[in-house]
Amino acid sequence: MITAKLNDISKKYGEINALKEVSLDIHTGELLSILGSSGCGKSTLLYSIAGLEKPDSGDISLNGRTIFSASERTFIPPEKRNIGLVFQNYALWPHMNIYKNVAYPLQIRKVKKSIIKKEVLEKLELVGLSGKEKKYPHELSGGEQQRAAVARGLIMKPDILLLDEPFSNLDAKLREKMQDELKRIQKLTKLTMVHVTHDQEEAMRISDRIAIMNKGRLLQIGEPSEIYDRPKDVFVAGFVGKSNLISYDTIKNYLPRKVKNDLEEKSLNKTKTILVRPEDITITDTENNTISGVITNKFNKGSVYMYNIKTGFHDFVIQTDNRCNYDINSNVNIMIKKGCVI
Ligand SMILES: Nc1ncnc2c1ncn2[C@@H]1O[C@H](COP(=O)(O)OP(=O)(O)OP(=O)(O)O)[C@@H](O)[C@H]1O
């Protein structure tokens, strides 16, 4: 099922194409991440869905109702879209305690007090803030403030909850915890969520699907594994995870037969660049079908090692488990297990 449909959305600020012909279906009950570097148009896309920006062209529908259409001159204002926002610039009100902050969307809808109380306590429990009702925002940690903002977003039972870089101000450890929390809440409530981030690890960790944007365009949308294993082009490959990008002609002699056969079939009529992920290369004792090189750099990443290996034709980045321990300057043979054509 589709909750929201964006069709051919474009938006210009002067000469800048903030959005260029973006079409996108948001599936009911999914957590979709919009991923891209600074200035690629992520926020403009989210604000267009929320009704805080007016695109120049295209249409947006929510549960079958047109909420924006440039050609039909339809523009439903934000407060009539039933969309929840967890945005940096719609932060908690400092003069209201947490109870009042979370209750606010229901108060302005004139919901009965007893229902408001039940809903607020339920939502605070869901986000792990029971007992903090009387605290003011400045008395909470950054993570707790974000939880309260999520509770406020959830309370109005929106058709979609939009989150704009909700964890960007948190330290790395807390950020991971909050990412897992958001995923848990999303699975529990089955609410449709669209989340904007420039952090590819965050997107890979929590999303059902990821939409990759660059310069106002939507480049690829798919499940995290699809984006990682079958990126559409060099930009996506480079943006999500580490990659070795080599021309097919350069590398073909070093590929095991099975991989080569698979790639040769697919590489017909393509640009013939091969993407090999670092974990799809092994260091091996055999010399058959392998590439010799020298280790130029090494990083310990906890459970894995990352190596830079210089060969006669390419500087590879490879990842091994931490039992595979070699020193810098060692001569090694490497073998490619898997690659894909992009
Ligand atoms: N109100 C505005 N007036 C003029 N230019 C704008 C305006 N809002 C955004 N832009 C420009 O449009 C482009 C897209 O901006 P947008 O904020 O959507 O990007 P973003 O991907 O969310 O970036 P960030 O991650 O830095 O927030 C940028 O080049 C930005 O400078």
For residues 34, 36, 39 and 44, what is the CA-based torsion angle, rounded to 10 degrees?
-10
CA-closest residue to ligand 1 atom 17: 43
Q: Is 22 a pocket residue for ligand 1 (Cβ < 6 Å)? A: no
Interface pTM (ipTM) of the complex?
A: 0.96
Distance 110 CA to ligand 1 centre (A): 36
Nearest atom in ligand 1 to the alpha carbon of residue 46 is: 18
Q: In terms of pLDDT, which residue wins out, 218 or 267? A: 218
pLDDT of residue 289: 79
| Whether pLDDT at 232 is above 80 | yes
pLDDT of residue 89: 66
Q: Is 36 a pocket residue for ligand 1 (Cβ < 6 Å)? A: yes
Residue tagged 């948001």 (tokens) = 26
In the chain, the largest separation of any two C-alpha atoms, in whole Å, equals: 76
CA-based torsion, 319, 324, 330, 336: positive or negative = negative
pLDDT of residue 35: 96
Q: Is 13 a pocket residue for ligand 1 (Cβ < 6 Å)? A: yes
Distance 90 CA to ligand 1 centre (A): 17
Helix or strand or coil: residue 15? coil
Q: What is the pLDDT of residues 272-330, one digit of tens each?
A: 889 999 999 999 988 877 899 999 999 988 889 999 999 999 999 999 987 888 999 99
Q: Is 18 a pocket residue for ligand 1 (Cβ < 6 Å)? A: yes
CA-based torsion, 59, 33, 183, 97: positive or negative = negative
Distance 129 CA to ligand 1 centre (A): 33
pLDDT of residue 215: 96
Nearest atom in ligand 1 to the alpha carbon of residue 40 is: 21
| Whether pLDDT at 7 is above 80 | yes
CA-closest residue to ligand 1 atom 5: 13
Nearest atom in ligand 1 to the alpha carbon of residue 53 is: 1
Tell me if 214 sits within 8 A of 200, measured CB to CB.
Answer: no
pLDDT band at 259 (very low <50, low <70, confident <90, very high): confident
Residue in 163, 194, 226 with CA at minimum distance from that of residue 6: 194
pLDDT of residue 41: 96
Q: What is the pTM of this model?
A: 0.89
